[in-house]
Amino acid sequence: MFRSQTKPSTTIVPLFFVLLFSSSITSTNHHHSTTALQIARPLSKLTHPVVILISSNGFRFGYQFKTSTPNIHRLIKNGTEAETGFIPVYPTLTFPNHYSIAVGLYSAYHGIINNQFIDPIAVPFEERVDTILHYFDLPNEEIPVFMTLYFEDPDHQGHQFGPDDPHVTEVVSNIHGLIVGV
In a domain, 4, yes or no: no
pLDDT for position 71: 87
Structural domain range at position 155: 15-179
In a domain, 6, yes or no: no
Q: b or e along 98-117 (b: 16 or more beta carbons within 10 Å of the residue's beta carbon)?
A: bbbbeeeeebeeeebeeeee
In a domain, 5, yes or no: no
How many structural domains does the chain have? 1
In a domain, 9, yes or no: no
Residue 168: CATH number of its domain: 3.40.720.10
Query: What does pTM read for this prediction?
Result: 0.71
- List strand residue ranges (DSSP E) for the chain, in order: 15-21, 50-56, 146-151
Q: Are 69 and 168 in contact (CB under 8 A)?
A: no
Q: Are 45 and 140 in contact (CB under 8 A)?
A: yes
In a domain, 125, yes or no: yes
pLDDT tens, position by position, 147-166: 989 898 999 899 999 999 99
pLDDT at 175 over 50: yes
Q: Do the strands 146-151 and 50-56 form a parallel or antiparallel pair, or are they unpaired? A: parallel
pLDDT tens, position by position, 83-117: 777 788 888 888 888 888 888 999 999 998 888 77
In a domain, 35, yes or no: yes
What is the distance between the alpha carbons of residues 147 and 19, in angstroms, rounded to a whole number? 10
